Amino acid sequence: MKVLRWKSFCKTIGITALLFSMSYTQINAEEFMQVKDIKTGMQGIAKTVVEGDTISTFDVKVLGIMENKGPSGDLILAEFSGPVIDKSGGIAHGMSGSPVYIDGKLVGAVAYGWGFSRSHIGMITPIDQMVKLWDEPYTKNIPNPWNKDRKLIPIGTPLMAYGFDSSAAEFIQDKLKDYDIKVYDTASSTGDDEEQPLLPGSSVAATLIDGDLKLGAIGTVTYVDKDKIVAFGHPYMKEGETGYFMHNSRIFTVINSVESSFKLGSIGKNIGAITEDRGAGIAGTVGLTPKYVSMSIKTTDLDRNVNKDSHVRVISDDSLTPSLITSSIYNFLKKTIDRNGGGTAKITYTIRPLDSKLKPYTRSDMFYSSTNVAYKSIDKLYDIVDRLLNNSFVDYSIENVDVSVDVTKDRKTAQIIDATASPIIVSPGDSIRVSVNLHPFRGEDFSKMLTFKVPEKQPLGEMKLEVRGGGVTPLPYLIEKQKLNLTDEVIRRLHVYKTFDEYFKRLKNMDTNNSIVVEILENNVSMVDDGDEEVEKAKLTNLGNRPTEGPKKFKTNSDSEQWDAFDGDEDRAVLNTDYVILGDGQFNITVVAPEKKEKALSELIAKRKKEAAEKAEKKKNEKKSLVEIINEAGQEALEQYDKDKEKKDDKDKDDKDNKDDKEKDKDGKEDKKPSTDA
């Protein structure tokens, strides 16, 4: 008896569950009209919602068949009319998916407009193409080969953004610009928390973000069969097999616009998942939960002591998730600081994978921007998420992300102004003490000490040691990069990894902007000659104060000048600070065999002593007082005067003697003349 009762109980539960399902979806299959049976001039109706959740109708007249013009086959050219169309100013964005009936049979979904024509003309996607979505094999990120007529324009699926700051809405639209989607701010509606049945003509939202934020495209349900639905009649993002949230939607009104009319609606309760997104439309299942990433975000404005704790879920998609994660953080950060402009941000986050065998990724970093600190703070996070999701080794699907961001308008940067290294003659395995002097923005200078260990396998000879901020590309490498016109993508591809552990280690150990890094530069990079002046210490050369920020694309965060080209913990020393570190420079270090180190050091000391003595003598000669300089100049002038006077006197005497001699010669000649007397 207990068994029978148990079976009876199970049967009752099953019937109840079935009835529950019936209340949210339509069960009876409708009769379809095939394209071959559709003739020009046929008339029918289409269903859609223009306010609340009330389904309205408008008139449809078939104009012809467009063979193989759609992404999945034929399209039906039609004219739409009636009060609904007149009030909305034509076919509005959000009407895509509106089911069309002729003689009571389902023909398909209103899906496309015709460019450069009145908006009463459009195309219908046949229903037989749409229901095939339920049986599609797995295909991810399918291409879009149908572009036979550029005048064929899908009726837009407006992306409703609830809870977004206006600048954040622009931000997410920019990140999704490849999908040709328009983002509109929206509100919540009474009854959004209540599930509503999905019927042909009902509004439905394919949602990317859910929780304290909502972001989803609103369209119309075309057909329902038990717990399955098809909608839109054209691709949303054409991701193939996908996993969007499926939500109810209530329409506030239709907004008439010069550019295009659109339905303004709310994103209601999550009731299932959209599983297919292809040329013929989208398909979903009621009661199904898609794979998603759970996020906890804490944002703090240190200047005003304001903080917010927020929670969202974003869809799990290798191409979309990085943008959705960073857009969510950007939005909450903008709302917390409630201002535009620059400042300094410290961001800490942990990314946990679904696979418990894989390690979580944790990172803390600092960013400074003079123009948009909120944007700058999420720059690197996008890159990290993208690299983890799209690595070539393992499936690193993300389960959750915890993020904490602290922001101040203060400029927390420090410039490397000088540094010394000791000793500068070393052997493999020796330690070098590096003292770095820094100047914080409008603050007092301070020093930091690092110890660098010379690699055991370091070749003998000259070794170039770089000291830099963690977010600064070494100047010699930057010069080489510009000279060879190397893009960041090319540089990334030069790194080849054999295992995920090696790849993950690289990501974990990438430099942070608030760190001081001491590392070896490659020998084949041209460098500035060293100008060492001390025997026991080398001074930093080639100091650069280069700007570290400029114009940015959100999508590939590798556009920044951050140098992340090392592959492990060896051959470097790193020290974290409370500042974004700017600047870099290099030392010349001599590496010799241990048995030759003492001799090399003695020779260097002797050489430096000689150089020091010569410089000291030179400086001594140069350090004369002004009086001495004047006296010496006066003495030289007097001596020159005496010399010139003596020379002049000698010349005058010679001239006088010459004149006397000439007079004597003249008198002698006159005495010797013969007499003329008789």
Distance separating alpha carbons of residues 389 and 493, to the nearest angstrom? 17
* Residue-level pLDDT at 524: 52
Max mean pLDDT range (117-126, 184-193, 612-621): 184-193
pLDDT of residue 152: 53
Q: Which of 144-158, 515-529, 569-583 has the lowest mean pLDDT?
A: 144-158
pLDDT single digits (tens) 373-429? 999 999 899 999 999 999 999 999 999 999 999 999 999 999 999 999 999 999 999
Query: Could you tell me the pLDDT band of residue 653, with boundaries at 50, 70 and 90?
Result: confident
End-to-end CA distance of the chain: give it in Å, rounded: 199
How much is the average pLDDT of 358-377? 96
Flag whether pLDDT at 621 surpasses 90. no
Instruction: Band the pLDDT of 4: cuts 50, 70, 90.
Output: very low
The rounded Cα 492 to chain-centroid distance in angstroms is 15
pLDDT of 134 above 50: yes
User: pLDDT tens digit string along 162-173?
Assistant: 999 888 888 888
The per-residue pLDDT for range 179-196, each reduced to its tens digit, is 877 889 999 999 899 999
State the pLDDT at residue 378: 92
* Domains of the chain listed by start with CATH number: 35-286 (no CATH), 292-408 (3.30.1490), 413-598 (no CATH)
Contact 434, 450 (CB under 8 A): yes
pLDDT at 549 over 80: no
Out of 391-405, 542-556, 622-636, the most confident range is 391-405
Taking residue 144's Cβ as centre, other Cβ atoms within 10 Å add up to: 9
pLDDT attached to residue 534: 38
Q: What is the pLDDT of residue 658?
A: 75
CA distances from 357 to 42, 353, 387, 501, 506 (A): 61, 9, 18, 12, 19
Q: pLDDT tier at 116 (50, 70, 90 boundaries)?
A: very low
Percent of the chain scored above 70 by pLDDT?
76
CA gap 331, 237 in Å, rounded:
23
CA distance 420 to 424: 10
Whether the Cβ atoms of residue 40 and residue 24 lie closer than 8 Å to each other: no
| Structure confidence at residue 528 (pLDDT) | 33
pLDDT tens digit string along 204-263?
999 999 999 999 999 999 999 999 999 999 999 999 999 999 999 999 999 987 667 899
Structure tokens at 39: 């003739």
At residue 540, the pLDDT reads: 58
